[in-house]
Every structure is written in C-alpha cells, then in structure tokens.
Chain A
Amino acid sequence: MSAEAHGATLVAEQFDDFEQQKQADTFGMWLFLVTEVLFFGGLFCGYCLYRNVYPEAWAAGSHLLKVTYGAFYTALLICSSLTMALGVRAAMLRLKTSLTVYLILTWIMGAAFVYIKLRYEWYGDFLEGLVPGFNWAPHGENLEMINHFHALLPHVSLFFIFYFCMTGLHALHMVVGVGLLTTLLIFTQQGKNTQGNYNWVEIVGLYWHFVDIVWIFLFPLLYLIGGRYV
C-alpha cells in the first residue's frame, strides 16, 4: 500500500512521499534537541567549573541530597521512556488502544515525577533550609554532617544554586513533555496518530527520551558525587 493512497492527510503537499516527510520531521526534532544540549550545556559547564574550584563543597552539598529520590526518579524516567518507546511502536502498528494506554502510562509517570519533586523533595529541601536566597540555613536530620562541613557552607550554597537551576530546568522540560503528551492523547482520540502517520508520536518520543537522558547525567552529577562512603 503506498503512502499516496491515504491522500493529503498523510503526506503534506511539500513532501514527495511519507519517507521524506518522516525524515524531515525527525531531523527537525533532532536539530531542536541539539540546541537543547547546548541550553543545558551552559549549566553543565558552570557546574563542571565550580565543582573543580570547590570540590569539597560540592561533595558536602551532594551529601545533603537523598540518593533514594535520585535513584527513584531515574527508574521512573526509564520506565516512562519504555512506555513511550512502546507507544511509538503501537503508533507504527496503528494500534489506537495500545497507543492510548502507553501514552497515559507515560503521562502518569511524567506527572508523578514533577509532583514528587515539588511536593516532597524540594519542599523537604526547603524545610531543611537548603534553598539559597529563600531559606538558607541548613539544618534537619543531616545536622551532624552540616556541622562537619560548616566552613564550606558558603560554597555549598553555590552547589545548591546549581542543583535547583539544573533540576528546575529539567522539571520545566518534564512539564512541557506532559503537555505534549496531553496534546498527543487528544490527537490520538481523533484518530490522527494511527492512520499511518506516526511522526508526531515519534518526535514527542524523541523529546521525552532526550529529557530522560538529561536526568541520566543529572543523577550521578548531583546525587552520587563526592563519595557516599565517607
């Protein structure tokens, strides 16, 4: 069955065929993701620089974060990437019900990530006085560790500025991703993603996996550095 048989709804008029359209769509998304790499890259660069300038403060700051949260988010995002990839597969096979189920699962995991981060992790950080500028007076259950690192505290606050900016920018991307998934769900219900043109699902998938990759780097850089064995 040729792509042309589906008429103008499948292939936009500026493209010769579906394959060309698919390549243009995905290539455009890849280009956007490259600009995103450099967008996050500025923060990674600053992180890298100041981590080398204040290594002890970075290790101390990392110790004040809870690895359990970081590992949980990593697992959650990997699960959501799996359901997203399976969603793209379902769209390729024109399975409307499967696609809807996978998109809803991905949506739930993405929303859960943002909710848990804001409601529990960041709120907990705020209560422990770990938010520079708003409530910077580290205390709470890590008091012993904080006293141990006391001389480093001004530079630890710099670590926390990077922590909140990097995870904040990442969380913002998750919010955008959840919005994109909502749009996809509406289009899927209208039957637009399962009539042969699965490109929207594919490129939202690319975005979703990219945001997952950012977290794959944030997790070791923020939560695991500095030796948890101390």
Chain B
Amino acid sequence: MSEDVHVHPKFFYVKVFLALIVLTTITTAVAYVDLGVFNTVVALVIAVCKASLVVLFFMHLKEQAGMTRVVIIAAALWLAVLIAITLSDRFTRHWVPSNGPWESSTMAAPQSE
C-alpha cells in the first residue's frame, strides 16, 4: 500500500510546526501592545490562521473528499448562528422601549382582600 498512499516529507510537517510557533509568539507579543479594539481582532485572526494551518496540513483536509469540507463549513456556520443569535438577542433588547419586566397574570401576587 505504501506505493499508493501519498506521503509528505517530514520537512513539510516541520514547516507547518514552525509557522504555528511563530504565530504563537506573535499573538503573545501583540497582547502587550495597546491596539485598542484591534487587540481582540488580531488575536482572533491569528487563532483562525493557526487553526487553518492545523486543519489543512496536520489533519490533511487538502487531501480529503469534498464532503468533509461541507461538514466543516456546516460546523462553522452553526457555531456562527449560535453565537450571532444569542448576541443579537442580548444587545438589541434596548431597541424596543419597555415598561419594566414582563409579568404573567397567573404569576401576579394575589390581591389582598
């Protein structure tokens, strides 16, 4: 079988490893520099880059069938839906004026007689 399987040279994996170590160093160093809101942006962009390197080369996504890619895109999409809808609920509540907390009529305190 070894004649049939596609095997990368060792150096291929070492290059990915070195790129990951360099990115880790950058993201740690950048945390000590004041970039305002961009600290978070840079940290997340670097994290996504590192994750992509691992998925593409260590996890051999480049050699996988197309269906695996669909599954990964679906995962990212559902995660985005989960976070986006949760945040959009919490941070748009003040858009609609409210007269205080909603109270169910059945839950209301009993009238004193």
- A residues engaging B (CB < 8 A)? 1, 3, 6, 10, 18, 23, 26-27, 30-31, 33-34, 37-38, 41-42, 44-45, 48-49, 52-53, 67, 71, 74-75, 78-79, 81-82, 84-86, 89, 92-94, 196, 202, 205-206, 209-210, 212-213, 216-217, 219-221, 224-225, 227-229
Contacts and interface: CB of A to CB of B under 8 A. Distances in A.
Interface in B43-83: 43-44, 46-47, 50-51, 54-55, 57-60, 64-65, 67-68, 71-72, 74-76, 78-79, 82-83
Contacts of A71: 24, 28
A30 B71 contact: yes
Interface stretch (B30-38, B95-103, B104-112): B30-38
Given A71-B28, A85-B58, A89-B8, 8 more contacts: A89-B10, A94-B2, A209-B58, A213-B54, A219-B27, A220-B44, A224-B39, A229-B31
B90 interface: yes
A220 B46 contact: yes
B71 A82 contact: no
Contacts of B2: 92-94, 196
A86 B10 contact: yes
A216 B47 contact: yes
Contacts, number: 141
A224 B27 contact: yes
A87 to B, nearest CB: 10
B51 A213 contact: yes
A74 B43 CA distance: 14
Chain B at the A interface: SS class? helix
Nearest to B80: A41
A158 to B, nearest CB: 15
Nearest to A70: B28
Given A23-B65, A89-B10, A79 B17 contact: yes
B55 A93 contact: no
Contacts of B51: 213, 216-217
B79 to A, nearest CB: 5
A37 B75 contact: yes
B65 to A, nearest CB: 6
Given A45-B86, A71-B28, A224-B43, A26 B21 contact: no
A220 B34 contact: no
Nearest to B46: A220
Contacts of B74: 34
B87 A27 contact: no
A86 B13 contact: yes
Contacts of B31: 67, 220, 224-225, 227-229
B79 A41 contact: yes
A26 B55 CA distance: 13
Contact of A212 (B27, B54, B72, B75): B54
